[in-house]
Every structure is written in structure tokens, then in C-alpha cells.
Amino acid sequence: MYSTILVHCNDRRRIKHVLAPALSIAERFESHLLALSVVPPVAIISGGADMTPIVEDSHCVEYREQNAEMRAAFEAAVVSRAIKPEWRDADAGAFPVADTVLPVARSADLVVASQTDETWYNSERLDIVEALVLESGRPVLVVPNAPPRSVVGRRVLVAWNGRREAARAVFDAMPLLQRADTVKVVWGRASGEGEEAKEIPVADICATLARHGVKCEGADEITHGAGIGESLLGAAADYEADLLVMGCYGHSRLREFVFGGASRHVLGKMQIPVLMSH
């Protein structure tokens, strides 16, 4: 049950993209849907030893102007829906946007955020999905920068390798899996992401899903000669999945996020929403 869903709204171009799956899931569970928008931090430019630092905030002014459009889009989208909507504005001040979003995310059942858009000039300030996945402790539904999907979680592909992160993802996704029309498990041994899982009890996870009332089709092994991340996305496309569930492998070091190969590939190349847990 997802009683509280947080959606991070950070870009007027992608507001409909990120809201579509968030609204679909929130309506399914009659959730409290909290939309959070955070003004990015000001930039402090050093003027040298004998000069006063320069405070650059033109990007903050621009964001505040565009924020009104995002709020209007949210308020229009929630009309007549069986959810409890809330819009919340915040200001990052002099700190990274993630420092404001993470404490709110840790009180949510599910977090929804956009895939990083590396071509966007504001991405470094405002795209924080990597921080949310690795540092929130909550499942994160990563929404691709592709045309928005109004239906998410009807045909679900679950990636399983028997490791802790995969287990977290499966049970974090259980409310969606229980309501899915069909679920398929694909499995493969870890490769290039630390210690390998020597034995993968695939039958056990399929049996557990069935006991939870999940319509699980069974399990297929995926080959990953071209890389397990690429194979996962290929399997999702072949299955015509509208959601991929997987563990996220990585760590943060002084806010530098280091991901395993499969996680990095999926985060960069995804075309459908991906529910990730770390």
C-alpha cells in the first residue's frame, strides 16, 4: 500500500511526463500525492582575495517563474481524481536541492522522479534521481524522458539475482505487483557488480510472489553477452512491459554517485518507468 507518494517536480518541460505515472499509481491506491518543487541554490562566484564574492541567482529567478507553470499543471491534473493532492514549495538556499528533497522522501512510501536529462543546462542543479535512489532508503520510480505513460504496472518485468538490492525492490514493489495483470521474473547472475550470487533461488521468489497473490508467469534466464543492463531493457521490450522492477547497485562518495554497470545502463537508456531500490 502506497499511502504517501512523493513526486519531485523540477522541470516544466517534463512535468506531464513525471506526473502521469504518479497520478496513475496514486489513484489506484487513493494515495496522498505530495508534489515537491525546490528552488535551486544560488551560485557563489569568488572574486579573488580582495574582492567580494558575487551571488548569481538568475537561474533561481527563472525557476520561480517556471514553477508557476508546474504548479498549474499539477492542479489541473489532479482535478476530479480519487487522490489527496498537495503542492509544496521549498527553497534550497545555499545547499544542493537533494538536501531539501531527501528528508521529505524518507517519509514517503514511494518516490517518483524524472530520469536525468544530460542535455539540459539545469540538470546538474535540479536532476537528483541518483541521490534519491542511493540515499533516500525508499523505492524510487524513475520516469524516463520519453513520451509520458498514463498506465504503469499492468505488465511488469522483475529482475532477480538473489541479492539484497533485488529483494528490496521486489518487496517494495509488492503493492504494484499484486495489482498487475501479469508479472514475469527474469534472472541472471551478477556480473561486474561486486560479489557474484552463486546460487539464485528463482523458484523461491516466484513461489513467494504467488503466495502474495501475484500473477507470476514464471522465470526466464537472461543472457548478457552485451551487458546485463542492455539485456534487461531488451527483455522488457520483448515482454512489452510497462514497468521494470530491479535493485540498484552503487554507492555515493562525497556526492559522487558510482553505479554498477547494469544500474548505470538502465538509468541512462530506459524507455519505460523503472522502480529501483537500493
Q: What is the pLDDT of residue 212?
A: 97
C-alpha cell at 251: 554507492
Q: Which of 143, 174, 193 is the last residue of a domain?
A: 143
Q: Cβ(138)–Cβ(175) under 8 Å?
A: no
Q: Cβ(76)–Cβ(19) under 8 Å?
A: no
In this structure, are 127 and 235 located in the same domain? no
In this structure, are 125 and 177 located in the same domain? no
Sign of CA dihedral 244, 246, 251, 252: positive
Question: For the chain, what is the mean pLDDT?
Answer: 89
C-alpha cell at 245: 522492477
Q: What is the pLDDT of residue 194?
A: 45
Name residue 250's amino acid: G
In this structure, are 85 and 211 located in the same domain? no
Q: Print the domain residue range for 208.
A: 155-277
Q: Cβ(13)–Cβ(130) under 8 Å?
A: no
In this structure, are 207 and 125 located in the same domain? no
Q: Which helix H or strand E contains 167, and what residues bound it?
A: helix 164-172
The percentage of residues in the chain with a pLDDT greater than 90, rounded to a whole number, is 72
Q: Which of 99, 121, 143 is the last residue of a domain?
A: 143
Beta bridge partner(s), residue 7: 35, 112
In this structure, are 80 and 34 located in the same domain? yes
64-112: per-residue pLDDT in tens? 999 999 999 999 999 999 999 999 999 999 899 999 999 999 999 999 9
In this structure, are 29 and 113 located in the same domain? yes
Q: Which of 121, 143, 165 is the last residue of a domain?
A: 143
Q: Which residue has the higher pLDDT, 49 or 11?
A: 11
Which residues lie closer than 8 Å to 143 by C-beta, 6 or more apart?
14, 17, 18, 20, 21, 22, 112, 113, 114, 115, 273
Q: Cβ(128)–Cβ(97) under 8 Å?
A: yes
Q: What is the pLDDT of residue 195?
A: 47
In this structure, are 266 and 167 located in the same domain? yes
Q: Cβ(81)–Cβ(27) under 8 Å?
A: yes
Q: Is residue 150, in this structure, part of any structural domain at all? A: no
pLDDT score of 62 more than 70: yes
164-210: per-residue pLDDT in tens? 999 999 999 999 999 999 999 998 765 444 445 455 678 899 999 99
Q: What share of the chain is helix, strand, coil (3-state, %, to 5)?
A: 35, 25, 35
Q: What is the pLDDT of residue 168?
A: 97
Q: Is residue 102, in this structure, part of any structural domain at all? A: yes
234-246: per-residue pLDDT in tens? 999 999 999 999 9
Region 204-230: what's the mean pLDDT?
A: 85
118-171: per-residue pLDDT in tens? 999 999 999 999 999 999 999 999 999 988 777 899 999 999 988 899 999 999
In this structure, are 52 and 73 located in the same domain? yes
Beta bridge partner(s), residue 191: none
Sequence length of the chain is 278
Q: What is the pLDDT of residue 223?
A: 67
| Separation of alpha carbons 102 and 142, rounded Å | 15
Q: What is the pLDDT of residue 218?
A: 79
Q: What is the pLDDT of residue 26?
A: 97
Q: Cβ(158)–Cβ(213) under 8 Å?
A: no
Q: How many alpha carbons fall within 13 Å on the CB side of residue 90?
A: 23
Q: What is the pLDDT of residue 182?
A: 96
Q: What is the pLDDT of residue 193?
A: 46
| Separation of alpha carbons 171 and 174, rounded Å | 5
Q: Is residue 148, in this structure, part of any structural domain at all? A: no
Q: Which residue has the higher pLDDT, 40 or 50?
A: 40
Q: What is the pLDDT of residue 56?
A: 72
Task: Provide Rg for the chain, Cα atoms.
Answer: 19
pLDDT score of 256 more than 60: no
| Separation of alpha carbons 208 and 223, rounded Å | 24
